[in-house]
Amino acid sequence: MVARLRAASRAESQAAGQRLAAIGELDLLWLRRFGERETWCTDSQDAITAEVAAALGITQARAASYLDYARAMRLRLPRVGALLVAGDIDYRMFQTIVYRTDLITDPEVMAGVDAELAVKAPRWPALTQGRLGAQVDRIVARADRDAVRRRREHQADRELSIFDNSDGLTEVFGRLFSTDAQAVDQRLDALAATVCAGDPRTRNQRRADAMGALAVGADRLACRCARPDCPAGTTPVPSPVDHSGLGEMTLPRHLGMCAHVLAQQRHEDLTRDHR
């Protein structure tokens, strides 16, 4: 039984690695298709994200996250990525390493960090999230101390702004922690799906209207089909969102309390910054 558990865990990690590898290959196909133009073709990332979302049946935000990790595996951390594909580390550890090394800008420094982590990371399967993050930070700090500072400065730039257009509509701009943004994205999708098929609004319009429902704590969006026998009232209330961003997990979800690798990292970073 223990051997089966270990094999299943390894297979899960391998599947996560193969998914990122496949997305990376799709990304390369687009790069070859556009050549030099890929650097200025604003539609390429949206197109790849849409293709991934459709193939996996996930939101575009989740697909964009997978694309980011696939690019990190292909361009920045190929040796660590190979460990994930082989099942020698899990997806949680790979996410942590990507997050903690994201602001290293020198390619040679990045290659050195990748090589060192590829040797050491398989020895850390039982580390708590905090200790894992600290181990990666030590390696990053020895190689490029400024990268740690840049990451903290980048986090400090988060904001949420609301601009009234004086025409009954308002524009919203935000820069959030990725885990929070994914939670909002999933919750809007869930609320937008609580109306019946006769609702005249587009999906984007329902998502926009769901912001208001979310703000007042509503568990569903009012349907606008105008049918007296509207079936939306019998639609199950959506479960709170999966705040993990891991995709392959199907767990009971709680909007404000779900523990997640990056959410925990965020808390630890902020705590450390205020010491």
Q: Is the pLDDT of residue 231 over 80?
A: yes
3-state secondary structure 105-151: CCHHHHHHHHHHHHHHHHHCCCCCHHHHHHHHHHHHHHHCHHHHHHH
Instruction: Check whether residue 93 and residue 210 sit in a common domain.
Output: no
Query: Averaged over 62-74, what is the pLDDT?
Result: 92
Look at residue 161 and tell me if it is in a domain: no
Look at residue 43 and tell me if it is in a domain: yes
Joined together, the tokens standing for residue 92 give 């949680």
Angle made by CA atoms 132, 266, 98, in degrees to the nearest 5? 55
Chain-centre distance for alpha carbon 51: 17
Look at residue 165 and tell me if it is in a domain: no
Residues forming a β-bridge with 179: none
pLDDT band at 274 (very low <50, low <70, confident <90, very high): very low
Instruction: Check whether residue 232 and residue 106 sit in a common domain.
Output: no
Look at residue 166 and tell me if it is in a domain: no
Q: Is the pLDDT of residue 238 over 90?
A: no
Give the residue numbers spanning the domain of 263: 176-273
Per residue in 208-222, pLDDT tens?
A: 999 999 888 888 899
Per residue in 4-40, pLDDT tens?
A: 888 999 999 999 999 999 999 999 888 887 665 545 4
Look at residue 230 and tell me if it is in a domain: yes
Instruction: Check whether residue 12 and residue 105 sit in a common domain.
Output: yes
pLDDT band at 153 (very low <50, low <70, confident <90, very high): low
Instruction: Check whether residue 205 and residue 112 sit in a common domain.
Output: no
Consecutive H or E run containing 30: helix 2-34
Instruction: Check whether residue 30 and residue 66 sit in a common domain.
Output: yes
Among residues 156, 185, 212, which one ends one of the domains? 156
In angstroms, what is the C-alpha Rg of the chain? Answer: 21
Among residues 156, 186, 201, which one ends one of the domains? 156
Q: Count the domains in the chain.
A: 2
Instruction: Check whether residue 31 and residue 125 sit in a common domain.
Output: yes
Instruction: Check whether residue 204 and residue 238 sit in a common domain.
Output: yes
Whether 194 and 183 have beta carbons less than 8 Å apart is answered as no
Query: Averaged over 108-127, what is the pLDDT?
Result: 93
Q: Look at residue 263 in the predicted model and tell me its pLDDT.
A: 46
Whole-number Å distance between alpha carbons of 218 and 46:
31
Instruction: Check whether residue 67 and residue 97 sit in a common domain.
Output: yes
**Helices 60-71 and 91-101, packing angle to 10 deg:** 70
What single letter denotes the amino acid at residue 57? G
pLDDT band at 250 (very low <50, low <70, confident <90, very high): very low
Instruction: Check whether residue 123 and residue 195 sit in a common domain.
Output: no
Instruction: Check whether residue 21 and residue 148 sit in a common domain.
Output: yes
pLDDT band at 245 (very low <50, low <70, confident <90, very high): very low
The model carries a pTM of: 0.60
Look at residue 167 and tell me if it is in a domain: no
Q: Look at residue 236 in the predicted model and tell me its pLDDT.
A: 65
Instruction: Check whether residue 149 and residue 180 sit in a common domain.
Output: no
pLDDT band at 70 (very low <50, low <70, confident <90, very high): very high
- 3-state SS of the chain: helix, strand, coil percent to 5? 65, 5, 30
Look at residue 164 and tell me if it is in a domain: no
Instruction: Check whether residue 180 and residue 100 sit in a common domain.
Output: no
Phi and psi at residue 252, to the nearest 5°: -60, 130
How far, in Å, are 7, 14, 91, 101, 120 from residue 83 at the CA level? 15, 9, 10, 16, 11
Among residues 156, 187, 212, which one ends one of the domains? 156
Whether 208 and 185 have beta carbons less than 8 Å apart is answered as no
Q: Is the pLDDT of residue 261 over 50?
A: no
Whole-number Å distance between alpha carbons of 56 and 146:
37
Look at residue 99 and tell me if it is in a domain: yes
Residue 159 DSSP one-character state: E
